[in-house]
A = this chain, B = another copy of it.
């Protein structure tokens, strides 16, 4: 890799970003120092400024990345499924992110980003809000499809269900942080699917949650 090439610069930038993320999770945005990050990458503090104009900018970019990665899973739609299955399948993919080894770190970064959004409404808050709103609406759309196909009660407030499912995801992350990871996210997810299946228009026929149980 030629040092002067754009690719080299991009790679270096990504490297710094990763290090920053790790350090930010470890120490928090405010407590983390540029020196910490430089040490993590193995460069000098001054060098960071070649790639990012300021610490605030670094924070902004890390937050944006966090928001973007947040629930990319939702984007991957599968064909040939009922809308209800699509909803549950999408949720499952998101929840997988709450179960893996980095779940706690992801949750911590999410918390940090949310708090940072309060302090920087323009640069961090607004993009995060857009992101979250997008997810919320995306879920609501799928719920609409499920209502159209009859697997969810058409009377039900689709937007509310979108918010509820999103909140549940965020809240599970928050609880994980508060409980230092001692949360049975899988059990919550199993229960969630059961409850969602229970929203059928006729709360009865054939919808046998017992069977659907995990």
Binding site for B on A (CB under 8 A): 27-28, 30-31, 92, 108, 111-112, 114-115, 117-119, 121, 125, 128-129, 132-133, 153, 155-157, 159-161, 163-164, 166-175, 177-180, 183-184, 187-188, 190-199, 203-204, 206-214
Contact = CB atoms under 8 A, between A and B. Distances in A.
A175 B179 contact: no
Provide the main secondary structure of the chain A interface. Answer: helix
A109 B174 CA distance: 13
A125 B195 CA distance: 31
Contact of A212 (B108, B114, B212): B212
Contacts of A166: 171, 175
Count the copies: 4
A164 B188 contact: yes
B206 A206 contact: yes
Contacts of A114: 111, 174, 177-178
A143 to B, nearest CB: 11
Given A108-B118, A166-B175, A209-B212, 10 more contacts: A31-B119, A114-B178, A155-B210, A163-B184, A167-B175, A171-B174, A174-B174, A193-B214, A203-B207, A212-B213
